[in-house]
Structure 1
Amino acid sequence: MRFLQPCAHGRGDGEEPEWPPSPLRVFQALVAAAAARWNERTRLEYAVPALEWLAKQPAPTVIASQGVPSGVKYRLYVPDNVADKVAKAWSGGNTSASIADSRTEKDVRPTHLIGKSDELPAVNYLYPIGDTDSEFATHKETLVTAARSVTHLGWGVDMVAGDARVLSEEEAANLTGERWRPAAGASTTQLRAPRAGTLNALAQKHEAFLNRLSADGFKPVPPLTVFDTVGYRRDTEPAAREWVAFRITSVDPDAPNPSFDTPAKCRDVAAWVRHATGEVCRNWPFPDFASFVHGHTESGSQTKGERADERFMYLPLPSIERRGDRGEHVGAIRRVLVAAPPGFGERIEWIRRRLPGQELVWDNRAQGLLNALPDSDWVLRRYTENAQTWSTVTPVIWPGHDDHNPEKAARLLRKAFVDAGFARAVVDAITELDWRPVGFRAGAELASRYALPDRLNGRRYHVRVRFAHPVRGPLAVGAGRYRGLGVFAAE
């Protein structure tokens, strides 16, 4: 679908701009185009077998020009459908009545499409076809004709030129644009997609629209409910980690909740949480207790190899305090977060049910209690939201020696992001990367003042990074990322 103008107005759930256009939106456009192409505006018949076949296919890979939602809305005033009332007023002699007096405000926030200067922006939907797929061969001509009959995708102003054809794997790989693939996890963009029964539901909705007015009055047209919701993620977007967060409260209900100095106690709070997690996981139903909970093998040696990153991260969260006109300030530790790699949500659920009420113990004394923290907590959201720009609240420990060479330091820092699970494409696309001993946030101490976990030694810096696309937290990198060092908060 090639857009004839550099903007799109389609909206998804919550009236938010939708980009790329969902597979369901394209399917609906194909249905409408087929009805017009074969002049079946009341009841669709000719293209039904082909469209039903398409609806049953797995969600496609989407390759789209970059879309940037407008940061500023503009307002339209749409006349209400009151012409009958105005005409009645006119017939009664009230010539001052006007349709313009009855208008509804409509705020518009388009998506601006960015593509090559020598071609129009486009979005492609790739469905894999087997070499021996005889059913597709039966429907190919119908689908191609319907696609070439599509003229709009979104609002009436969103004019497009549609097309369909069979590509080889090599030709598909050469298509330009951002690649969106179906993916699981909380960090995905949710898009609607057709499924078996969607075409029939669309036909029923259309019939209800045609018969909305009758002798019995007006019957509202019910919304479409027969579709799937599929998570999509760009190739340049990392999958977000699974996590659970807790507030540290006092053991004595009459005493104030404790707080811990971030530079001096960050590593200790992480160690206390790891110990508490180990205690509640003694009947761990999964096969990797030692490596996942403690980060070492049953014999005590460090976990290495491809599965070395399959372990919990224990991240104390320094408070981010608002201080009036002085902006935000990094404070003491009152919250903690335990994170796991993408796809290990069942392990997070295991400790989510068991860690609340557990004591954080040091030197045989309880330092505090863990209590569940709601996801809506303002400070927690600064660590877990979706943002392009992030900066550290605890310094990053370099994964090697930079020999005071800025170029080598930059390579080491990018390596730290790759080691933390970011795809190389995401790291290569970083637009800004800066580091220094002094914090980028008020309240952050010199990097050298943060106590290091045992057996960790290396240069450490505060870091500020801007990604090409928003990245969802929690975000921690560097050699100390499992024990509270190298933690970022969103700016």
Structure 2
Amino acid sequence: MPIRLDITLLSGRYDAGGGDDPHAAEWPPHPARVFSALRAVAADDELAPLAELERLSPPLIHASAAGEYRARGYVVTNARERKGTHQNHPARTAGFRQRFGSLPYDARVQFDWPDGDALSDGSLACLDRLARRVPYLGRSTSPAILIFSRVRDPEPLPGLTTYEPVEGPGTASIRVPYPGYLDELDALHEADQPAWQAAGARSRRSYREAGAEEEVPGRQPVESPYPDLVVLRFVGRRPPGSLVGRFTEALRRKVMGQTEEPLPPALHGHGLPGVPHVAYLGLPFAGYEHADGQLMALAVAIPGLDRAERRRILRGILGSDPNHSVSLYVPGIHGSFELQYSPNDPLPRSATVTRWTGPSHTWVSVTPLVLDRYPKDRDLASAATTSLVQAGLPAPREVELSKQPMTQGAIRLRPDELPKRCRGRLYTHARVMFDQPVKGPVLAGAGRYFGVGLFAPEKGGEQR
């Protein structure tokens, strides 16, 4: 018989951020988050049932609709500093935080595993004991009661909507456990790393409301070759966009120096012809009326990798600082630049993941597109199309090219300001239109791994 997990949110709310989007709330609760909560309360001799649970297929989720809320305030930081400014907590400071959560119309949520008969009664009883120990889901401000049981006729509670996993695009992307998820959580804990690092592309499943009509195949978004985008925003001074190549090269050098040997092939790119590898980006303030092209953040785009390589690269990006602060020295520029990984803080739009991921039918370059090959008969549009296709994107329906930026704030570079690996090649700004929506980040051209060839979704080109 199937097994069911009943969740009751005692406060009537669910305090958990959306992860990928710092300005969104997670709803419904993700099975991967529940699994992490079960692991947190499990003893070493209670892990076998969790290993069985992660091998089951993604569950059906029954939940009501929910509204979102936002809470703002100053909270005491955990890190200690020599000159702490907090009056009641020595060596600490208070930082502004903005948190998002959900207010469901029904505080009850249910997960159903149709293949739960693979679990023995003993394993189910152990999972139930673990569930009853879990004090809360998400943040500690959303206490919850969790109960496992076996159900003969798994009808959901009245008023709840059923969401089912689907192949291909759905209406929601939800994190679920998978075989090996338990080992990854344990490895992260031993390395004193946060559990969110286990939330890569492998844990993402598409869900859709049961009974909803499938989307027309021709309009389903095309996935980006880069499922992960780690954004490091500038704290304090921001460099001009013309220095993008120097900053991405400095970041690349730092990440490779902080990643444990042997370096993952996706990081250095050697021996991987035609396969996407890690890309370093400068994210400018571009695409808006008063945009000035300053770099708001740097970012690292990570292609789909196995969890071990992905985890090592994430550690190389963030280093050992518990506050995820990165100090970057750029040769030839006085002083260092401070970068911060803080996806749950209120951020400028250009320093968020969603700004660069779309989906959209129309994308416009914010850093020049460096052509992969010299065009025959000066057919630049054909060469630009080739660069897009070689980057793993569909052939566009229409391509517009210009020597000048085609959106406010896009970066214009002199030949000597291009990344060193791109100098001597033809380059141009571009606007491309696809027959179906495309998800970002959209990177193309010979410089896509080194800071140029970045596109932004253009207003009016969103999925219709």
Could you tell me the TM-score, scaled by structure 2's length? 0.48
When Rg is computed on C-alpha atoms for both structures, the one with the higher figure is 1
Could you tell me the TM-score, scaled by structure 1's length? 0.46
* More RCO (CA 8 Å, sep 6+): 2
